[in-house]
A and B are shown apart, each in its own frame.
Chain A
Amino acid sequence: MLRLGDVRLDFADGPVLAGIDLAVRPGELVVLLGRSGCGKTTLLRLAAGVLAPTGGQVENAFRDAAMVFQEPRLLPWADARDNAAFGFKARGLPAAARRAMAEEILIRLGFGPGDLHKRPPALSGGMQQRVAIARALALAPDLVLMDEPFAALDVGLRAELQRIVRAEVERAGMAALFVTHDITEAVRLADRIVVLSPRPARVVAQIEQRPATAPDAVYAAAAELLRRPEVADALAPPEATVAGAGRVAG
Chain B
Amino acid sequence: MTANGMMDPMMNRTTNLPGPGDGAPQDISMGGLAAGGTARGVPEHGATGCPAATRAGRPAGDALGRWQGGAWGALGLVLLLGLWQWGALALGPFVLPTVPQTVVAIIDLFAAGQAVPELMTTAGHAVGGFLAGAVAGVLLGLAGGLVLPLGAMTTPVLIAILGTPPIAWVVLALLWFGPGGATPTFTVAITAAPIVFLAALQGVRSRDPRLAEMARIYRAPPLQRLTDLLLPELADHLVPAFATALAFAFKVAVMAEVLSGASGVGGGIARARAHIDLAQTMAWIVLVVLFLLAADAVLLAPLRRWLRARGG
| Residues from chain B with Cβ under 8 Å of A52 in the complex | 5-7
Known A-B contacts A71-B210, A76-B43; A154 and B51 likewise in contact (beta carbons under 8 Å)? no
Please tell me if A100 contacts chain B, counting CB pairs below 8 Å: no
A-B pairs with beta carbons under 8 A, tally = 122
Interface segment among A124-132, A188-196, A223-231: the answer is A124-132
Nearest Cβ on chain A to B174's Cβ, whole angstroms: 44
Known A-B contacts A75-B229, A90-B220; A128 and B45 likewise in contact (beta carbons under 8 Å)? yes
Chain A interface extent, by class = 35 or more
Nearest Cβ on chain A to B22's Cβ, whole angstroms: 15
Q: A66-93 CB contact bits vs B (8 Å, 1 = yes)?
A: 1101011111111000000011011110
Interface segment among A9-17, A24-32, A106-114, A202-210: the answer is A9-17
Minimum CB distance partner of B235 in chain A:
A77
Contact yes or no, A119 B312, CB < 8 A: yes
Interface segment among B92-100, B211-219, B286-294: the answer is B211-219
| Residues from chain A with Cβ under 8 Å of B114 in the complex | none
Contact yes or no, B47 A154, CB < 8 A: yes
Complex Cα distance A87/B224, Å?
A: 10
Consensus secondary structure, chain A interface: loop
Nearest Cβ on chain B to A111's Cβ, whole angstroms: 15
| Residues from chain B with Cβ under 8 Å of A213 in the complex | none
Please tell me if B62 contacts chain A, counting CB pairs below 8 Å: no
| Residues from chain B with Cβ under 8 Å of A241 in the complex | none
Contact yes or no, B211 A122, CB < 8 A: no
Nearest Cβ on chain A to B112's Cβ, whole angstroms: 49
Nearest Cβ on chain B to A202's Cβ, whole angstroms: 18
Among A49, A76, A152, which residue has the most Cβ atoms of chain B within 10 A? A76
Contact yes or no, B220 A86, CB < 8 A: yes
Complex Cα distance A98/B69, Å?
A: 42
Point out the residue from B6, B49, B216, B218 that lies within 8 Å of A124, measured CB to CB.
Answer: B49
Consensus secondary structure, chain B interface: loop
Contact yes or no, B221 A51, CB < 8 A: no
Contact yes or no, B310 A12, CB < 8 A: no
| Residues from chain B with Cβ under 8 Å of A122 in the complex | 51, 55, 312
Minimum CB distance partner of B1 in chain A:
A11
Contact yes or no, A86 B44, CB < 8 A: no
Q: B38-78 CB contact bits vs A (8 Å, 1 = yes)?
A: 00110111111111100100000000000000000000000
Among A65, A87, A121, A122, which residue has the most Cβ atoms of chain B within 10 A? A121
Q: Which residues of B from 188 to 241 have beta carbons under 8 Å from A?
A: 210-211, 213-221, 224, 228-229, 232
Contact yes or no, B217 A78, CB < 8 A: no
Known A-B contacts A9-B3, A12-B3, A69-B214; A90 and B219 likewise in contact (beta carbons under 8 Å)? yes
Complex Cα distance A152/B207, Å?
A: 24
Please tell me if A53 contacts chain B, counting CB pairs below 8 Å: yes
Complex Cα distance A54/B215, Å?
A: 24
How many residues of chain B are within 8 Å of chain A by beta carbon? 40
Q: Which residues of B from 289 to 312 have beta carbons under 8 Å from A?
A: 310-312
Complex Cα distance A86/B224, Å?
A: 9
Nearest Cβ on chain B to A132's Cβ, whole angstroms: 9
| Residues from chain A with Cβ under 8 Å of B5 in the complex | 9, 51-54
Contact yes or no, A125 B46, CB < 8 A: yes
Please tell me if A243 contacts chain B, counting CB pairs below 8 Å: no
Please tell me if A222 contacts chain B, counting CB pairs below 8 Å: no
Known A-B contacts A76-B40, A76-B43; A89 and B228 likewise in contact (beta carbons under 8 Å)? yes
Minimum CB distance partner of B208 in chain A:
A73
Minimum CB distance partner of B214 in chain A:
A73
Complex Cα distance A152/B214, Å?
A: 19
Nearest Cβ on chain B to A131's Cβ, whole angstroms: 11
| Residues from chain A with Cβ under 8 Å of B50 in the complex | 124
Point out the residue from A16, A71, A76, A86 that lies within 8 Å of B311, measured CB to CB.
Answer: A76
Point out the residue from B2, B44, B48, B52 that lies within 8 Å of A12, measured CB to CB.
Answer: B2
| Residues from chain A with Cβ under 8 Å of B311 in the complex | 76, 119, 121
Complex Cα distance A157/B41, Å?
A: 25
Complex Cα distance A135/B3, Å?
A: 29
| Residues from chain B with Cβ under 8 Å of A154 in the complex | 47-49
| Residues from chain A with Cβ under 8 Å of B47 in the complex | 125, 152-154
Contact yes or no, B217 A65, CB < 8 A: yes
Contact yes or no, B43 A124, CB < 8 A: no
Contact yes or no, A76 B2, CB < 8 A: no
Complex Cα distance A78/B45, Å?
A: 16
Contact yes or no, A50 B3, CB < 8 A: no
Please tell me if A249 contacts chain B, counting CB pairs below 8 Å: no
| Residues from chain B with Cβ under 8 Å of A54 in the complex | 4-5
Please tell me if A172 contacts chain B, counting CB pairs below 8 Å: no
Q: A21-59 CB contact bits vs B (8 Å, 1 = yes)?
A: 000000000000000000000000000111111100000
| Residues from chain A with Cβ under 8 Å of B55 in the complex | 121-122
Which residues of A line the B interface, CB within 8 A? 9-13, 16, 48-54, 65-67, 69, 71-78, 86-87, 89-92, 118-126, 128, 135, 152-154, 157
Give the 4 A-B residue pairs with the shortest CB-CB distance, closest first.
Answer: A121-B312, A52-B5, A125-B46, A122-B312
